Amino acid sequence: MAKGMVWLVGAGPGEPGLITVRGLEVLSRAEVVLHDALSHPALLQACPRAEIHDVGKRVGEAVPSQAAINAQVIEFARAGKRVVRLKGGDPFLFARGAEEALALARAGIPFEIVPGISSPVAASTYAGMSLTHRDLSSSVTFITGSDRAGKDWSPDAWRKLATATDTICVLMGMRGIEAITRAIVEGGRPESTPAAVVQWGARPEQRVVESTLGNVARDARAAGVTNPAVIVIGEIVKLRAELRWYDNRPLFGKRLLVPRPAEQASLTAAAIRERAAEPVVFPVIELHDPPDPEALRRAARELSNYDWVLLTSANGVERLFRTLREQGRDARAFGSAKIGVIGPKTASALEQHGVRADLIAEEFVGEGLARALLGRGKPGRVLLARALEARPDLPRALADAGAQIDVVAAYETRPVSAERAAALRSLLENGDLDAVLFTSSSTVSSTLSLLGPSGPDLLARVVVASIGPVTSATLKDRGILPQVTARTYTVEGLLEALESHSWV
């Protein structure tokens, strides 16, 4: 059997968007992935066909030894697999990547190292502290809070470090922060030296405690800060007052429920993380083939016979092109037919298949698409591919104008299993959410179906945000008044509206 290969990939500090392009490329082709506890779970979406193994080390839990992890990686590689060892931060900076690479080299297994952004660099950056600065710091020392055997460094070791470098970054040092800071003061660093502790750096959970070397241990304990954290000591901590950019964003740290189908949730989650908020992905509907899939197949075979093909969602785009692929055809099947869509997201989904929309409705609702199309004259023969259950306004308006319109279900939405209702209720009852993002009437109906009679009362505990007037009308019909309604009926527009919301 052919020998496999191993990639030691740095997952970065936590924010999944900080993984390197090379790291993401390698993940997408992996057959087996062994990941650490600190690698973000969203990264595993990049390797949906891979066999996943959690080998993370967690305090208080039985975990595989390093030797056992090495042996497991080698075993998979010898079986001819493409193996990714996904490690938090950078594989070669306090991540034991060198030990794993040596084990591979000695076993004769080919490997590649894919660097990642290290946690102290990311944590300080996301906290607004530049580790080097021409006037404040020309040297940096990275050090762990304990030695190879897990024992605390001696006070003498910290005293020697105290004045040997401008900036000191201590990783995983919260257990001994009192002894560490005391020894550094005894080594000659003034108690008044700026210091900070950054917990869960570069993530929406990020917490920063600013203090001085003499008081940072007391202040961090009072704030309840624990590992994973980085202790930063040096004059560069003062830069945070002006360079703070991440944790002062309007949505920083907010937990936003995304009740969208799994196929759509990843893009929404990424947009939320870009705003320093935390997406809580909880699909309340699932996408399925329509009851009569032959109708879509037939329409796909006849695309070139239509004057216009209308698509009202990215889901409709994907389902139509999947049907074309199953028939061994591609975008050329449209022939001379023009394509009209609702909104830029649907247009973007179309462009992923190499096709540009001839018409994009400025109003992101069915009526808007009808008005835009009728503004171009009599539309002729029209195909509308959309969800099985949808509002009748668009086809009605076109039929009234004399169009010959065929409405075909490209997919249908169904509620997820009722077993998940308890989990959703728990999130709302325990105050684990700040807002719920409703992006369609179907997400409203399915969410309330899961929550049952207590749904309106539970949603009253959070900010209810709606993507547009149609969804808001559905909420109001169910006795729920949305506090936020997007002016631009897209996910981006919804998040912008949330940013302007008063959270007091």
Which residue reads 């193996």 in tokens? 83
Active-site position among 5, 54, 160, 172: 172
Structure tokens at 189: 């660093």
Listed residue (246, 265, 17, 4) closest to 129, CA to CA: 246
Q: What's the distance, CA 228 to chain centroid?
A: 20
**Taking phi first (over 0 means left), then psi (-120 to 50 degrees means alpha), and beta for anything else, what does residue 114 get?**
beta
Q: Which phi and psi angles does 169 have, rounded to 5°?
A: -115, 115
From the candidates 36, 166, 247, 434, give the one annotated as an active-site residue.
36
Burial class of residue 470 (count of CB atoms within 10 Å of its CB; 0-12, 13-18, 19+) = middle
Q: At how many degrees (to 10) do helices 441-451 and 421-429 cross?
A: 90
User: Of the candidates 468, 312, 314, which has an alpha carbon nearest to the alpha carbon of residue 393?
Assistant: 312
Output the six-digit token pair for 333.
């099947």
Q: Are 464 and 482 in contact (CB under 8 A)?
A: yes
The answer to whether the peptide bond before residue 283 is cis (omega within 30 degrees of 0) is no
**In sequence order, what DSSP letters do the residues of 129-172 get, joined into one string?**
--S-BTTTBS-EEEEESB-TTSPBPPHHHHHHHHTT-SEEEEET
Residue 54 annotated in active site: no
Residue 254 is among the residues annotated as catalytic for this protein: no
Q: Is 135 a catalytic residue?
A: no
Helices 393-400, 366-374: axis angle to 10 degrees equals 20
Largest CA distance in the chain: 88
The residues annotated with a catalytic role in the active site are: 36, 57, 172
